[in-house]
Structure 1
């Protein structure tokens, strides 16, 4: 009995209890499900003592009574808690892969060879959801966009991702390529991201172009389709076709020749030759394509000339060897004839003069 009284006196002696304390850096901790959290904690005791045991507990209501249960005895926390403090003065605790059941009050206790000290205060853990917001949304191309990561508590710096790729800045001027799905996360815990939100970047028609179903010079009577395409959000809903007979760089007057995304000419004529362009429009604006040249061959003369030219070349190629052979034979024959004539003259000139005279006399009439 006397020993018990002595122990009580020692406990209540001024300056004895003041040496024992547990301090939580953040009594209320807000975290995101699936992430990790740290309870920063410190504790003190008299210098003559040595800490033999440290333990974190969670408060639960059992049978109507508030009870502290050691985390080491709860299967729910198996392999998810990590004591990152020491047995001197640091009592910090980390909990990984946070789950809904982790919400609640947490306490710390340490034992020396003389006393066991439990914290009267606690750390309260609760969860928040990350909600990504894009402001404004939808946005027009060229307007400023601000990304906001909404939570029910104050978290550290938020980081952003677009279609899974990091975003450099949470504020920017929207361009067409910025359209996509954005999500946010807490810096250092990027593996846990918010549900994505889509950014809709709207713009008038861009990159308007015209494609011809047939390229090159067209023959009269053939058909051709001119198709207009563009990049627009919302999609272009109005197309107008214009024709100009000037050069691609001229500013001559344009004549409207049709409407719709496809300009169809079932039977082209010489009058269809010229420069064509398409104007695409949506509710945000309009843009023109570059001019495209459509050329129609007005007659078959050029084709006939081309065919005749080809035929002449073929004939020349085929007849040239014959001509060469014929010329060669002519030359050869001329050389032979010349040789024969030259031989006859020599034979005649060698006859005796008297014989020549006799022949002449027989030829005289009687």
Structure 2
């Protein structure tokens, strides 16, 4: 009797497993953080049985024991899991918005009207992030720049990748650097632009551009007025030298060096200060000049000032004349006496 029971126990597992199986299309998928992944899955069971329940679970250690927990009971998977399968032979599953704690082992189980069967194997999900690289990461304007995007598994082909600079789309992964190309670059899979890599910076070095001169002075620029000319530029590295020139003759006349530094001060305006001024900004990569700025005194104000001074002198003379005449008369009278 004992021999018969032993034979039955040995044969039973084989009888139960006959015709039952679970097959995973890719047992070791790797997906990007923030993206979605599909576990392709199929299952079989003996003819005549009916499937009434399917379950996906995740394996993990708890109190030193390996247990499988239904995904439906894990709050972190809420609204992120979609079962694409059926109760026939398809058991595919999609997990979206992948997070770091989604890595691990996943199992499938189905229950028929006669027996429950869980997969012997598992799907192990690993996550990878996109890595953006800029070669070289510091260039002089005009040099070639190459953008590369990769995961921990492979270098990704350009047609599958889109690039952003400071959040704006970049047309090509290779270009000749310009000043405006400096910024932070990130990459993403085409069709999944919301999941981007960490940004990487591109530094573009260039000679001064946009050299401008601003003038500040009293409300009326007349003789004796205080005038400041300020030079500004855009450069990388910043301009380390500013020189000032003045042209007093025709447009073809030579320039005269009149000062250095970012600010040229004229504390007391004189006629000799009039002319066309320009600033030249320089850094180790080159130099650039501003447009010429005409600085001239307001002759109307000067003439008005002269007239006011002349009128005041005449008025003073007229006021003093009677007093002088009285004084002369008194002196004469005293002499006659």
Q: Partners in 2 of 1:40 and 1:236 — Cα distance?
A: 60
Structure 2: 5+ residue runs without aligned partners?
A: 309-337
- Aligned pair in 2 of structure 1 residues 84, 168: CA closer, same or farther (>3 Å)? farther
1:179 aligns with 2:168: no
Give the conservation status (yes or no) of the 8 Å contact 1:36–1:189. Answer: no
Q: Partners in 1 of 2:122 and 2:295 — Cα distance?
A: 82
Deviation, 1:124, is 0.8
Give the conservation status (yes or no) of the 8 Å contact 1:242–1:255. Answer: yes
Tell me the equivalent position of 1:293.
294
Alignment of 1:216-365 (within 5 A): 218-248=221-251, 250=252, 252-296=253-297, 303=303
Query: What are the Cα deviations for residues 224-272 of structure 1, in whole angstroms up to 9, with x where unaligned?
Result: 2211111112211110111223444x3x322211100111112233322
Give the conservation status (yes or no) of the 8 Å contact 1:139–1:201. Answer: yes
- Aligned pair in 2 of structure 1 residues 32, 302: CA closer, same or farther (>3 Å)? closer
Q: Partners in 2 of 1:62 and 1:181 — Cα distance?
A: 43
What is the total number of aligned residue pairs between the two structures? 302
Tell me the equivalent position of 1:349.
none
Greater mean deviation of Cα atoms: 119-128 or 63-72 = 63-72
Q: Partners in 1 of 2:119 and 2:247 — Cα distance?
A: 88
SS in 2 for 1:127: strand
Give the conservation status (yes or no) of the 8 Å contact 2:22–2:44. Answer: yes
Tell me the equivalent position of 2:204.
201
Greater mean deviation of Cα atoms: 34-43 or 257-266 = 34-43
Tell me the equivalent position of 2:149.
149
Q: Partners in 2 of 1:115 and 1:7 — Cα distance?
A: 18
- Aligned pair in 2 of structure 1 residues 296, 174: CA closer, same or farther (>3 Å)? same
Query: What are the Cα deviations for residues 297-323 of structure 1, in whole angstroms up to 9, with x where unaligned?
Result: 6x8898269979xxxxxxxxxxxxxxx
Give the conservation status (yes or no) of the 8 Å contact 2:102–2:125. Answer: yes
TM-score normalised to structure 2 length? 0.73
Report which of the two structures shows the higher radius of gyration computed on alpha carbons: 1
Give the conservation status (yes or no) of the 8 Å contact 1:217–1:294. Answer: no
Give the conservation status (yes or no) of the 8 Å contact 2:58–2:106. Answer: yes
- Aligned pair in 2 of structure 1 residues 61, 304: CA closer, same or farther (>3 Å)? closer
TM-score normalised to structure 1 length? 0.68
1:100 aligns with 2:103: no
Tell me the equivalent position of 1:121.
121
Give the conservation status (yes or no) of the 8 Å contact 1:22–1:41. Answer: yes
Tell me the equivalent position of 2:319.
none
Give the conservation status (yes or no) of the 8 Å contact 1:216–1:295. Answer: no
1:82 aligns with 2:82: yes
- Aligned pair in 2 of structure 1 residues 187, 45: CA closer, same or farther (>3 Å)? farther
SS in 2 for 1:28: coil
Query: What are the Cα deviations for residues 148-179 of structure 1, in whole angstroms up to 9, with x where unaligned?
Result: 33431357944333333343433333333333
- Aligned pair in 2 of structure 1 residues 146, 42: CA closer, same or farther (>3 Å)? farther
- Aligned pair in 2 of structure 1 residues 7, 293: CA closer, same or farther (>3 Å)? same
Q: Partners in 1 of 2:301 and 2:117 — Cα distance?
A: 111
Tell me the equivalent position of 1:56.
56
Indicate the RMSD between aligned Cα atoms, in angstroms: 3.8
Alignment of 1:208-219 (within 5 A): 208-214=211-217, 218-219=221-222
Deviation, 1:284, is 1.8
